[in-house]
Amino acid sequence: MVMEPPTPGGNSGASVARGASERAPIGSASEGAASGNANVVTAGAAYIGGKIVPISEAVIPILDLGFLHSDATYDVAHVWRGRFFRLGDHLDRFERGMKKLRMSLPIDREEIRRILHDCVRASGLANAYVEMICTRGMAAPGSRDPRDCVNQFYAFAVPFAWIATPEQQEQGLSVHVSRVQRIAPESVDPTVKNYHWLDLVQGLFDAYDHDAETALLSDADGNVVEGPGFNVFAVTAGALVTPKAGVLKGVTRKTALEIGAELGAELDLPVEERALSYDELVEANEVFVTSTAGGIMPVCAIDGRPVGAGVPGPVTEEIKSRYWLMHDDPWYFEQVD
């Protein structure tokens, strides 16, 4: 039996739905944080310059190359009902990204973990979108040599954001496969989470011009790869398929692959990581996308054509149900005090 996942928040009329949140005053969550401050942090909290501040006061230097050159890596975890989900996996990917970009920080993994907990605790949010960022930092005056920079760490927690509204999740997303080509992995490594989003943003505008809700981009060979902030899966040719190359190895993607392997053994539905052509995508029985900002989200129309029966399919719904059940498994979560 498929169990219902949590309701994605109450703001169903917004373009991005936000989960219900509980808020508490900012407190002495971290060394340097305001102590005894009775002001309520209404939109979140951030770690900037060694202290916790309200999100409205979070700023970075304009000369930071993370801003000027998009020279940064980041990762996003989520907190649901006061629990981080798979935070260790997000920290692993963040550390790999810094290593690939030749970045390093004066704080270790456990200090990063503590700061993220502090941001959530200071914000008072029960359901939160939590981002950790490493930027190149500022270069020496007159220098463009990245070796002259001192890398910087920032973090913040804001209300949980959903890529799809409750109505969109019930009806399934409408997607346009854009002619905008994804940045080649030979140019920018997609396994390092980054802010090189101009191709994705242009793809979104292309989707809106075609009356779709979001976009998927393709590679130079015409294979579908990923969308703005999400991976894609298709039930096609008797298998559950997701693109292997040219994509971010999402933590929600990883979770869907794990659930898919379990479910595949029950349904004789093998899981395949391989190239996914446009023709195969539009002829698929089911399609869904995965993201930390929303979990497992069905796609029911591609370029104006219905996917399968035009409603969320049984495989998608079962993976979605099991995904949310995992949020109650102590193996995958850690509590925010």
CATH number reported for the structural domain that contains residue 261 in this entry: 3.20.10.10
302 and 190 within one domain: yes
113: left (phi over 0), alpha (psi -120 to 50) or beta: alpha
pLDDT (tens place) for every residue of the chain, 337 residues total: 334 455 544 333 333 333 333 333 333 333 333 333 434 445 899 999 999 999 999 999 999 999 999 999 999 999 999 999 999 999 999 999 999 999 999 999 999 999 999 999 999 999 999 999 999 999 999 899 999 999 999 999 999 989 988 788 999 999 999 999 999 999 999 999 999 999 999 999 999 999 999 999 999 999 999 999 999 999 999 999 999 999 999 999 999 999 999 999 999 999 999 999 999 999 999 999 999 999 999 999 999 999 999 999 999 999 999 999 999 999 999 999 8
In a domain, 105, yes or no: yes
DSSP string, 140-156: PTT---GGG---EEEEE
Residue 102 lies in a domain: yes
The domain in which residue 239 lies consists of 166-328
Q: Are residues 77 and 202 part of one domain?
A: no
Do residue 261 and residue 243 come from a single domain?
yes
* Domain boundary, last residue among 124, 159, 194: 159
Domain count, the chain: 2
Q: Name the domain boundary from 134, 159, 184.
A: 159
For residue 18, is it within any domain?
no
| Contacts (Cβ under 8 Å, ≥6 apart) of 27 | 33, 34, 35, 36, 37, 121, 122
> pTM surpassing 0.75?
yes
Task: Clarify whether residues 130 and 106 are in a common domain.
Answer: yes
Same domain membership, residue 186 and residue 135: no
| Pair 126, 185 in one domain | no
Residue 11 covered by a domain: no
Look at residue 17 and tell me if it is in a domain. Answer: no
- Phi, psi for 169 (deg, rounded to 5): -70, -35
Quick one: 115 and 153 in the same domain? yes
Residues 184 and 111 grouped into a single domain: no
Q: Are 177 and 212 in contact (CB under 8 A)?
A: no
Same domain, 138 and 285: no
In a domain, 260, yes or no: yes
Instruction: Note whether 313 and 231 are same-domain residues.
Output: yes
Out of 110, 142, 159, a domain closes at 159
Q: What angle do CA 327, 299, 267 make, to 5 degrees?
A: 65
Q: Which among 282, 278, 288 has a CA at the least distance from the CA of 240?
A: 288
Give domain status of residue 49, yes or no.
Answer: yes
Q: Are residues 217 and 115 in the same domain?
A: no
Q: Does 202 lie in the same domain as 105?
A: no
Contact 218, 235 (CB under 8 A): no
Per the structure block, which two tokens stand in for 314?
């049984």
Q: What is the pLDDT of residues 153-207, one digit of tens each?
A: 999 999 998 998 878 899 999 999 999 999 999 999 999 999 999 999 999 999 9
Q: Is 284 among the domain residues?
A: yes
